[in-house]
């Protein structure tokens, strides 16, 4: 069974630590992660792999890496960009 430890710090990063089951067959890392990280897309996983956000046994891997039994996978996605600018809005208020 795979253990998934998800810690999300909404201001900084999205982290996932996955321990691969000892009976896991060889499978490309992107296909493996799409099943293990809920609510993510294959594009996001591929972007993470290409930019070094996915590590196996503390080593950055390429997209063609095949997940092996007992691998320890660490995924740290950067937080999505967000607009922190506050824009005033005119609101008509009647105060009596």
Say what the pLDDT of residue 94 is: 86
Average pLDDT, the chain: 84
Between the ranges 37-41, 73-77, 86-90, where is the mean pLDDT highest? 73-77
Share of the chain above pLDDT 70, in %: 84
Say what the pLDDT of residue 2 is: 41
Say what the pLDDT of residue 81 is: 66
Say what the pLDDT of residue 96 is: 79
* Whether pLDDT at 52 is above 70: yes
With contact defined as beta carbons under 8 Å apart, do 10 and 50 qualify?
A: no
pTM score > 0.75 for this model?
no
Whole-angstrom distance, CA of residue 34 vs CA of residue 37: 6
């Amino acid at each position: 069974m795979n253990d998934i430890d998800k810690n999300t710090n909404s201001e900084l990063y999205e982290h996932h630590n996955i321990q691969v089951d000892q009976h896991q067959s060889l499978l490309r890392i992107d296909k493996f992660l799409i099943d293990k990280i809920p609510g993510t897309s294959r594009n996001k996983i591929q972007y993470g792999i290409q930019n070094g956000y996915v590590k196996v046994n503390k080593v950055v891997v390429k997209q063609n890496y095949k997940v092996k039994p007992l691998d320890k996978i660490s995924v740290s996605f950067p937080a999505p960009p967000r607009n922190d600018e506050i824009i005033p809005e005119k609101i008509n208020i009647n105060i009596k």
